[in-house]
Amino acid sequence: MLEINTIKKIICSSYDFEEYGIDSYLVHTGYTYHDGDELHIVIKSEGNRIKITDEGHTLMWLSYEEYNMTPSRKDQYQRILSENNTLDDRGRIYVIYDDIKETSACLKSIIQTLLQVADLRYLNRQNVSNTFIDDVIAESNKLAISSKCIYNKKIEIAKNEYCEPTVYIELEKPVLIFAINTSDRAKETLINLMMLKENNMKYRTIAVIDEDAQITEKDKSRLINRASRPIIGLSDFRETIDEYLVG
């Protein structure tokens, strides 16, 4: 049975608890989504454990805002959960614990998670694009051959003409990784790929294209056709890069 009076003493805050069902309470924290609706937080017993959950309301709220959960945004979502030690069960954000003394910390974690997830609404295309190159570099740092990775290395591809891949991997046949997050960067990479081919330079090239970037289908098609290995999105990069490098 949920010891609600003990929980109130532990939290020592102005939060109100409203009976919500059998052994469950709606927690009124005063925190709201951007439209003014209060965060939906329920605390309840689950066997011998205690669970705090939003019951899926936060992601449902985002869906009302016509928010498209693309792979890059899903990565941001998972990162928020991980940083706040919260979990997801089919869209329901929650934290579960054994010791009633953990209630205050767990409640803070769920509040922080819900506020940050709600803020994903403002993570527009440009914001996502700004993190994409850093994400590609971060994933490259996790490679087994990360010691061979050089970042933003300038490579002379013609007299006084240079290309600067996001990642240069120093192998017998070097690999150039281009992270492409804008239309301008797509065009720049296309020029680099054409010049590399025209000058018969022996590199393997990887074009990692941000699926959230506003790149024309024509440019995207050209990148796919010209790169040795085109990759769409961070998730695909993460899942296939090791296999490609040893292939």
231 in Cβ contact with 240 (< 8 Å): yes
Question: In the numeric block, which tokens belong to residue 38?
Answer: 């209060």
> Pick the residue with more confidence: 243 or 129?
243
Mean pLDDT of the chain: 88
Sign of CA dihedral 217, 219, 223, 226: positive
Residue 190: predicted pLDDT: 95
208 in Cβ contact with 177 (< 8 Å): yes
Distances (CA, A) of 75 to 43, 79, 81, 153, 233: 27, 6, 10, 27, 11
Question: Cα–Cα distance between 81 and 54 in angstroms, integer?
Answer: 13
Distances (CA, A) of 64 to 41, 119, 233: 19, 14, 25
Q: Do 23 and 52 lie in a common domain? A: yes
Q: Do 167 and 207 lie in a common domain? A: yes
Question: In the numeric block, which tokens belong to residue 46?
Answer: 């689950």
Residue 186: predicted pLDDT: 94
Predicted TM-score of the model (pTM): 0.55
Q: Do 157 and 233 lie in a common domain? A: yes
Q: Mean pLDDT throughout 173-189?
A: 94
Identify the weakest region by mean pLDDT among 14-28, 75-89, 146-160. 146-160
Q: Mean pLDDT throughout 102-127?
A: 83
Q: Do 221 and 197 lie in a common domain? A: yes
Picking from 123, 140, 173, the residue at the C-terminal end of a domain is 123
Residue 10: predicted pLDDT: 80
Question: Cα–Cα distance between 11 and 186 in angstroms, integer?
Answer: 52
pLDDT digits (tens, 9 = 90+) for 24-41: 999 999 899 888 899 999
Residue 247: predicted pLDDT: 64
Residue 14: predicted pLDDT: 76
Q: Do 116 and 139 lie in a common domain? A: no
18 in Cβ contact with 26 (< 8 Å): yes
Question: Cα–Cα distance between 237 and 141 in angstroms, integer?
Answer: 13
Q: Residue 20: which domain range?
A: 4-123
Q: Mean pLDDT throughout 83-107?
A: 94
53 in Cβ contact with 42 (< 8 Å): yes
Q: Mean pLDDT throughout 52-69?
A: 85
Residue 124: predicted pLDDT: 53
CATH number at 84 reads 3.30.1460
Strand, helix or coil at 174? coil
For residue 127, how many other CB atoms are within 10 A of its CB? 12
CATH number at 171 reads 3.40.1350.10
Residue 154: predicted pLDDT: 87
Residue 127: pLDDT band with limits 50, 70, 90: low
Residue 126: pLDDT band with limits 50, 70, 90: low
Picking from 123, 155, 174, the residue at the C-terminal end of a domain is 123
User: Which DSSP symbol is given to 67?
Assistant: -
Flag whether pLDDT at 128 surpasses 60: no
